[in-house]
């Protein structure tokens, strides 16, 4: 078995993961061609191209640095890269199927998988319960990505002393991803304005799936102690919620050039995010009926809002103080995540790389300097760090 130098991987984790993915997917495509050439071209080939063509590889990086921060070295390198690649295939599944659910036309600078299939076979107008032919085909493509992810995880951990504890984390990650996505859909369909529900969805879909579990998975591969696993879990939970709240802010107020999507997409499609929930609760507490009415009419309408309506909703998010409060929450959660990492028995150079990665995910480019909003936003109730810190895996109940 070839030994991979972990120091070489440290220099460019993304490139190392991409090499493993390319080799793995080449084998999978060869198997698919043997099974059926049409299936290989239409479905397997699209899964492979989608996986290789882009993405930040955040989850694989977190898995790698979790392993390294827990003291993992050369003996764990190959397994960690295999599991990191499996994580990226889970993300392929999530994105392909999420695009079907949302009816999204674009992803990573090109047509989504379901759009490609419909364009190839001119089936855009053949409606089905899950969309067109392309939508049904894309669901199968997502299923295939998840199958390949499970295969990759099993191959990477086969015969290892950490295969059993690693598999427990892997099972949790996959189930939490599905649960979080369903809560997201349910809240959108029922216009559930609860901030607790919004946080619960953020914990499952983003904090756990995107940050905490990949970190803990990497550390588990390194044979980490219970103390290390607990610290990485808590730090990942705080940073993961901050990542989702930052994403909500970017969707509403960010620059489309940097975000890669239109401003106000969540508002336009009626997604009751934590940002919207905070705005509504602040409007109700202040007796601002006009602001509440705007949010009801725009986000709660269950139909795509016009641009003028999106602007009105953004004004309420700003004027109500929700934007400032959520931004402050992002800063506090990031700061708490860094505090936990600083106090944990981790390999310091790897922990420093981990901190930089988490800061970037949360939109913090400085060296820990806290914003004016953090100093001023000490109000109790909505948005305190305690609402997220020490939260059980399922979120608040």
Predicted model pTM: 0.88
Higher pLDDT, 254 or 208: 208
Whether residues 115 and 156 share a domain: the answer is yes
Residues 250 and 351 in one domain: yes
Q: 153 with 189, same domain?
A: no
pLDDT, position 198: 87
Instruction: Check whether residue 145 and residue 72 sit in a common domain.
Output: yes
Alpha carbon distance 112, 117 (integer Å): 9
Identify the band that residue 259 occupies on the pLDDT scale cut at 50, 70 and 90. low
CA distance 215 to 166: 12
Q: Which of 337, 291, 340, 355 is nearest to 317 (CA)?
A: 291
Looking at the structure, do residues 151 and 203 belong to the same domain, yes or no? Answer: no
Higher pLDDT, 97 or 25: 25
Q: What is the pLDDT of residues 331-361, one digit of tens each?
A: 999 999 999 999 999 999 999 999 999 998 8
Which among 160, 183, 218 is the end of a domain? 160
* Same domain, yes or no: 232 and 374: yes
269 and 155 assigned to the same domain: no
The answer to whether residues 154 and 167 belong to one domain is: no
CA atoms of 347 and 337, how far apart (whole Å): 16
pLDDT score for 275: 95
For residue 97, how many C-alpha atoms fall within 13 Å in the half-sphere facing its CB? 19
Domain count, the chain: 2
How far is the C-alpha of 288 from the C-alpha of 285, rounded, in Å? 8
Q: Which residues of 355-392 are buried (b: 16+ CB within 10 A; e: fewer)?
A: bebbbebbbbeeeeeebebbeebeeeebbeeebbbebe
Its domain, for residue 89, covers: 1-160
DSSP, collapsed to helix, strand or coil, labels residue 112 as coil
Strands 110-111 and 106-107: antiparallel
Residue at which a domain ends, from 118, 134, 160: 160
Q: Is the pLDDT of residue 121 over 90?
A: no
Looking at the chain, the number of H-run helices and the number of E-run strands are 20, 2
297 and 327 belong to one structural domain = yes
pLDDT digits (tens, 9 = 90+) for 236-248: 999 999 999 999 9
Are 216 and 336 contained in the same domain?
A: yes
Same structural domain for residues 109 and 202? no
Taking alpha carbons only, the member of 299, 278, 367, 377 closest to residue 332 is 377
Banded pLDDT at 396 (limits 50, 70, 90) = very low
Average pLDDT value for residue range 134-155: 95
CATH at 84: 1.10.600.10
Residues 6+ apart with CB under 8 A from 158: none
Taking the C-alpha atoms of residue 120 and residue 132, their distance in angstroms, rounded to an integer, is 12
Higher-confidence position of 131 and 371: 131
Any idea what DSSP says for residue 106? Answer: E
Domain limit, last residue, from 134, 160, 186: 160
Pair (151, 186) in one structural domain = no
């Amino acid at each position: 078995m070839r030994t991979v130098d972990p120091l070489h991987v440290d220099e460019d984790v993304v490139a190392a993961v991409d090499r493993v993915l390319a080799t793995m997917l080449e084998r999978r495509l060869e198997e698919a061609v043997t099974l059926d050439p049409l299936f290989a071209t239409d479905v397997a080939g699209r899964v492979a191209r989608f996986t290789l063509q882009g993405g930040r590889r955040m989850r694989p990086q977190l898995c790698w640095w979790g392993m390294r921060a827990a003291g993992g070295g050369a003996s764990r390198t190959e397994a960690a890269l295999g599991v990191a690649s499996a994580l990226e295939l889970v993300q392929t599944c999530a994105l392909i199927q999420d695009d079907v659910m949302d009816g999204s036309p674009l992803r990573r600078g090109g047509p989504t998988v379901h759009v490609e299939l419909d364009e190839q076979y001119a089936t855009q107008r053949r409606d089905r319960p899950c969309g067109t032919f392309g939508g049904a085909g894309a669901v199968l493509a997502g299923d295939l990505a998840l199958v390949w992810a499970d295969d990759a995880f099993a191959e990477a951990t086969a015969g290892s002393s950490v295969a059993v504890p690693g598999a427990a984390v892997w099972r949790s990650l996959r189930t939490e991803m599905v649960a979080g996505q369903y809560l997201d859909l349910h809240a959108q369909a029922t216009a559930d304005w609860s901030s607790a529900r919004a946080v619960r969805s953020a914990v499952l879909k983003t904090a756990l799936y995107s940050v905490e579990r990949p970190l803990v998975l990497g550390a588990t591969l390194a044979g980490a102690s219970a103390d290390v696993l607990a610290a990485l879990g808590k730090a990942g939970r705080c940073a993961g919620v901050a990542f989702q709240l930052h994403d909500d802010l970017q969707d509403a107020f960010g620059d489309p050039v940097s975000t890669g999507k239109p401003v106000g997409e969540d508002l336009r499609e009626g997604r009751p995010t934590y940002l919207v929930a905070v705005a509504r609760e602040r409007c109700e507490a202040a007796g601002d009926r006009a602001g509440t009415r705007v949010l009801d009419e725009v986000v709660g309408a269950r139909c795509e809002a016009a641009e003028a309506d999106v602007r009105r909703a953004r004004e309420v998010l700003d004027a109500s103080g929700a934007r400032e409060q959520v931004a402050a929450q992002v800063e506090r959660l990031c700061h708490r995540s860094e505090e936990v990492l600083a106090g944990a028995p981790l390999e310091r150079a790897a922990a420093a790389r981990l901190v930089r990665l988490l800061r970037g995910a949360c939109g913090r480019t400085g060296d820990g300097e806290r914003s004016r909003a953090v100093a001023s936003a000490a109000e109790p109730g909505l948005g305190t760090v305690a609402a997220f810190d020490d939260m059980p895996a399922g979120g608040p109940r």
